[in-house]
Amino acid sequence: MSTSAIEKLFVKGNEAVGMAALEAGCSCYFGYPITPQSDIPEYLSRELSKHGGTFIQAESEIGAINMLLGASAAGARAMTSSSGPGISLKQEGISYMAGSELPGVIVDVMRQGPGLGGIDASQADYWQATKGGGHGGYRIIVLAPNSVQEMYDLTMLAFDLSDIYRIPAMVLADSVIGQMKESIIANPRPHVELPEKSWAVRGRGDGMPQHVVKSLKLGDGEMEKHHWKMHARYQELADKECRWEEAEMADAELIVTAFGSTSRIARTAVVMAREEGIKVGLMRPVTLFPFPKKAYASLSERCKHFLAIELSTGQMVDDVRLSVARDAEVHFYGRPPGTGSLPTPEELFEQIKKTWQALA
């Protein structure tokens, strides 16, 4: 066997997250069991100490997000993970992290809700993830993998973007991607210019300035200034960090758009549709915040119809509509979460055909 042969590993989506965290230099993980992501704390409970890191199964998701806040404030790369009900509990802590400009990675493997809901896949926490699920008016970086390889690569990206922009970053997956197994290449950590964490609390020696990590801003005009500063930073994110994938786009007159699990099924359906001569393409956003608005707007210049497909009654579709404005019509097909509600490629192919025929 050649020594330069690339090694492929057959891993579960959730485990790929853990592997990537280790590769990215995550030194602290704080989590709590919840289906469908308990593999992440289980994996890290075995592996993190081997890398000199700290694993704590916290008393609750609230405990975990606050431990993340503390570790991040002290300059460490740290991560937590959960699913719907636990992400709801974490909102206060995430808001504090956003207000304090703290980096940190939060993995959300979506399950059905609201409430206790169920454990099958869902995309109905898109709003919670992308619209600032906690109070105060902030956004977090949201990355949406659709494969085990992306669970790995996007987790590493989440650490980097979070450190660069001092904004918490979420990896937004769902039970299907978390639980599926695929072969991946465990890419090494990419070399990225990272700013020094010169703001971190460190227990400084004499004569050095005090560092305070806080979100309380009571000074005259202080809070307003902070909001505009973050607004500008979100704009910078939009200008520099949008990621998306286009497929079968060449002469597309109808563009299917979906993220995560739905995008994989939609990809198969698009191929089936192309075989029947339907001029359909696929637009898959990878960054849900910043949402690749300009990419959608650019597509809408030549393609006047989109079909958004989600595992919900329609959340991302609003952002697609905002991005294309009046330049294109956005149709929608939804499969709200629930057992057995994962569509088949045939089902989506039928929807594409139906939409296509209505355009004629």
Partner 1 sequence: MKQVFSRPASLKDVSTHFCPGCHHGSVHRLVGEALDEFGIRGETIGVASVGCSVFLYGYFDVDVIEAPHGRAPAVATGAKRARPDRIVFTYQGDGDLAAIGMSEIIHSANRGEDITVIFVNNTTYGMTGGQMAPTTMPGQKTSTSPYGRDVGNDGAPFKMAELLSNLEGVGFSARVALNSPKNVMQAKKMIKTAFRYQVEKKGFSFIEALAACPTNWGMNPLDANQRVGEEMIPYFPLGVFRNTANL
Residue range at the interface with partner 1 (CB under 8 A); choices 67-75, 154-162, 304-312, 349-357: 67-75
Q: Are strands 181-184 and 9-12 parallel, antiparallel or unpaired?
A: antiparallel
Q: How far apart are CA 274 and CA 307, in angstroms?
A: 15
Q: How far apart are CA 218 and CA 12, in angstroms?
A: 47
Q: How far apart are CA 204 and CA 328, in angstroms?
A: 56
Residue range at the interface with partner 1 (CB under 8 A); choices 6-14, 74-82, 177-185, 293-301: 74-82
Distance of CA 112 to the CA centre of its chain: 17
Measured from the CB atom, the residue of 99 and 281 that comes closer to partner 1 is 99
**Which two structure tokens, joined as six digits, stand for 89?**
């509990």
Residues in 215-244 that interact with partner 1 by CB under 8 A: 215-216
Measured from the CB atom, the residue of 97 and 270 that comes closer to partner 1 is 97
Q: How far apart are CA 174 and CA 254, in angstroms?
A: 26
Sole binder of partner 1 in the list 44, 78, 89, 177 (CB under 8 A)? 78
Residue range at the interface with partner 1 (CB under 8 A); choices 16-24, 51-59, 116-124, 184-192: 51-59
Sole binder of partner 1 in the list 70, 85, 336, 345 (CB under 8 A)? 70
Residues in 100-119 that interact with partner 1 by CB under 8 A: 100
Among residues 342, 196, 325, which one has the least CA distance to residue 261? 342
Judged by CB under 8 A, does residue 214 bind partner 1?
yes
Sole binder of partner 1 in the list 116, 185, 194, 212 (CB under 8 A)? 212
Among residues 182, 197, 168, 60, which one has the least CA distance to residue 107? 168
Backbone angles phi, psi at 309, to 5 degrees: -125, 125
- The H or E element that residue 179 is part of is helix 175-179
Judged by CB under 8 A, does residue 194 bind partner 1?
no
Measured from the CB atom, the residue of 53 and 334 that comes closer to partner 1 is 53
Judged by CB under 8 A, does residue 89 bind partner 1?
no
Minimum Å gap between C-beta 93 and partner 1 is 6
Residues in 7-36 that interact with partner 1 by CB under 8 A: 27-28, 30
Measured from the CB atom, the residue of 61 and 310 that comes closer to partner 1 is 61
Minimum Å gap between C-beta 165 and partner 1 is 20
Minimum Å gap between C-beta 58 and partner 1 is 7
Listed in sequence order, the residues at least 6 apart from 48 whose beta carbon sits closer than 8 Å to its beta carbon are 22, 26, 29, 54, 55
Measured from the CB atom, the residue of 78 and 278 that comes closer to partner 1 is 78
* 93-237-243 Cα angle (round to 5): 105
- Burial degree of 280 (CB within 10 A; 0-12, 13-18, 19+): buried
Q: How far apart are CA 233 and CA 134, in angstroms?
A: 19
Residues that bind partner 1 (CB under 8 A): 27-28, 30, 54, 56, 58-60, 62-64, 66-76, 78, 92-93, 96, 100, 201-206, 210-216
